[in-house]
Amino acid sequence: MSSASFPLNDKKTIRAWAFFDWANSAYALVISTAVFPIYYSAITPDKIDLFGMSVSNSALYSFAVSFAFILVAITSPFLSGIADYGGKRLLFLKVFTTMGAISCMALFFFKDASWLWFGTAAFIISTLGYAGGIVFYNSYLPMIVTEDRYDMVSAKGYAYGYLGSVILLFVILAMIQKPEWFNISKDGLAPRIGFLLVGIWWIGFARITFRRMPKDKKGALPDGIVKKGFNEMAQVFKYVMKDVNIRRFLLSYFFYTAGVNTVIYLATIFAEKELGFEAGELIVIVLLLQVVAIGGAYLFAYVSKLYGNKVSLAIQLVIWMAICLFAFLIVQKTPFYVLAGLVGLVLGGIQSLSRSSYTKMLDESIDDLSSFYSFYDVLYKTSVVGGTFIFGLIDLITGSMRYSVLTVGIFFIIGLIILMGVDFGDRSKKSELAV
């Protein structure tokens, strides 16, 4: 059945679409945040030779994240062009999912320092598969539901993703904390089995999505598809440059989201190396952060309703600055649990409110909003590159992750200063008509 005649608002199709979030969010939580960063730091040498330089393993991990997102940022316009105009969503969704899941499963063989470059490469490729697949996954939303259900169905996907990833993380946490329950005795085997399970979970549940999504167009990709994708990005860039408030908001967003995502990717390594947290303790902290983030998203949405987007975002940025300062000063474990709670409080809020703020600033007359969100996504990924690279560079120069964390605080300061120049007030009427 072609996408043009595909039935909209079908409950089974919506559920199948949401299951992709259930499938790939396990990677985001277990590999990107909770388990793999700790494992990477534990089994790799403290100092590693990189192009003739001696770098710390935490700096190398930062650079690996940066490189993965450079690849994603470069390919995003091309992927967006295929998603919007090529009619091959399902093919490329399968390709990136398979590439990411297999690379994730390959991390099972990352058993010691002799496999350092294999493990680093597998992590980079799996991150590329995860981020690339999201482009096509998101592009299905207007194909399966009517516009009045975008928010509800999108929220359902997030809910599925949160629930699924936490369930699998609980299983992996049990294996790490109580290996005897699973007849696991070899040191370091439990996390590696966890990486294998993430890949199986990812590609296994994704098949539910594959079976229910609209079929691809027959035939080869149309000529000029790559050029079309980049032309769309150029048009979006011109539009953004003409609107001073969107331009300022996105510049602010670039800086503060660099700080947010650097914290997401590197907080567990910081806690392990600087404060001596063990793997089980860190995973508990990540679970705490995830739960608090849900409440934080609703809390700051309410603050925004009362006082506006600008005030709500500004409050959160001040809290993020305090988090960076406290992290620099903390020397004991107990205060870090409080710090993790603060991160959770502003993590969900800053992400959800940033996206809704951007949506409100777009004119309702824009025909192809997918390119605007693709531009937003490229900006997001580029900020991750910048944030994690600078974090790793400061770590390399100073030999201490504490100064890297303090540097991240500068991102939030710059973001707040620029945000103060954004006028949200004159867009209140437009926001009612926006997507």
**Both tokens of residue 172?**
């992996």
Q: Please identify, among 216, 247, 271, the residue that sits at the C-terminal boundary of a domain.
A: 216
Q: Are residues 265 and 203 in the same domain?
A: no
H/E run at residue 49: strand 47-50
Give the predicted TM-score (pTM) of the model.
0.74
Q: Are residues 261 and 206 in the same domain?
A: no
For the four alpha carbons of 345, 351, 356 and 362, in that order, the dihedral sign comes to: positive
Q: Are residues 114 and 200 in the same domain?
A: yes
> Which burial class, exposed, middle or buried, applies to 186 when counting CB atoms under 10 A from its CB (0-12, 13-18, 19+)?
exposed
pLDDT band at 432 (very low <50, low <70, confident <90, very high): very low
Residues in CB range of 104: below 8 A, 6 or more apart? 27, 31, 122, 126, 129, 195, 198, 199, 202
Q: What is the pLDDT of residues 277-301, one digit of tens each?
A: 876 777 778 778 777 877 777 788 7
How many C-beta atoms lie closer than 10 Å to residue 224's C-beta? 11
Q: What is the mean pLDDT of the chain?
A: 82
d(CA 61, CA 67): 10
Q: Are residues 203 and 349 in the same domain?
A: no
Residues in CB range of 224: below 8 A, 6 or more apart? none
Are the CB atoms for 23 and 204 separated by under 8 Å?
yes
> Between these two residues, 398 and 360, which has the higher pLDDT value?
398
Assess if residue 24 is contained within a domain.
yes
User: Helix 279-307 crosses helix 150-177 at what angle (to 10 degrees)?
Assistant: 160
Q: Are residues 363 and 424 in the same domain?
A: yes
Q: What total number of domains does the chain contain?
A: 2
**Both tokens of residue 140?**
């299905």
d(CA 278, CA 148): 46
- CATH code where residue 185 lies: 1.20.1250.20
Q: Are residues 300 and 185 in the same domain?
A: no
Q: Are residues 279 and 327 in the same domain?
A: yes
How many C-beta atoms lie closer than 10 Å to residue 296's C-beta? 26
pLDDT band at 317 (very low <50, low <70, confident <90, very high): very high
Q: Are residues 283 and 182 in the same domain?
A: no
d(CA 289, CA 278): 17
Q: What is the pLDDT of residues 412-428, one digit of tens each?
A: 999 999 999 988 764 43
Residues in CB range of 429: below 8 A, 6 or more apart? none
d(CA 343, CA 319): 9
How many C-beta atoms lie closer than 10 Å to residue 236's C-beta? 21
> Which burial class, exposed, middle or buried, applies to 397 when counting CB atoms under 10 A from its CB (0-12, 13-18, 19+)?
exposed
Q: Are residues 295 and 207 in the same domain?
A: no
Assess if residue 425 is contained within a domain.
yes
Q: What is the pLDDT of residues 225-265, one digit of tens each?
A: 777 767 777 777 888 888 888 899 999 999 999 998 888 77
In the block, tokens 């936490």 appear at 166
Are the CB atoms for 106 and 198 separated by under 8 Å?
no
Among 230, 250, 224, smallest CA distance to 79 is for: 230
Which amino acid is located at 339 in the chain? L
Q: Are residues 255 and 153 in the same domain?
A: no
pLDDT band at 435 (very low <50, low <70, confident <90, very high): very low
Note the residue count of the chain. Answer: 435
Query: H/E/C letters for each residue in 59-126?
Result: HHHHHHHHHHHHHHHHHHHHHHHHHHHHCCHHHHHHHHHHHHHHHHHHHHHCCCHHHHHHHHHHHHHH
Q: Please identify, among 183, 216, 249, the residue that sits at the C-terminal boundary of a domain.
A: 216
d(CA 194, CA 191): 5
Q: What is the mean pLDDT of residues 308-320?
A: 91
Residue range of the domain that includes 377:
239-435
Q: Are residues 263 and 169 in the same domain?
A: no
How many C-beta atoms lie closer than 10 Å to residue 289's C-beta? 23
| Residue 170: pLDDT over 80 | yes
pLDDT band at 370 (very low <50, low <70, confident <90, very high): low
Assess if residue 408 is contained within a domain.
yes
User: Helix 11-26 crosses helix 189-212 at what angle (to 10 degrees)?
Assistant: 160
d(CA 335, CA 338): 5
Q: Are residues 203 and 253 in the same domain?
A: no
H/E run at residue 19: helix 11-26
Q: Please identify, among 201, 216, 231, the residue that sits at the C-terminal boundary of a domain.
A: 216
pLDDT score, position 429: 36
Assess if residue 4 is contained within a domain.
no
Assess if residue 231 is contained within a domain.
no
Q: What is the pLDDT of residues 126-136, one digit of tens each?
A: 998 998 888 78
Assess if residue 224 is contained within a domain.
no
How many C-beta atoms lie closer than 10 Å to residue 95's C-beta? 15
How far lies 274's CA from each of 47, 288, 400, in Å?
16, 20, 8
| Residue 321: pLDDT over 50 | yes
Assess if residue 201 is contained within a domain.
yes
242-271 burial by CB neighbour count: b if 16+ within 10 A, else e?
eeeebbbbbbbbbbbbbbbbbbbbbbbbbb
> Between these two residues, 46 and 373, which has the higher pLDDT value?
46
Among 68, 75, 71, smallest CA distance to 121 is for: 68
Assess if residue 291 is contained within a domain.
yes
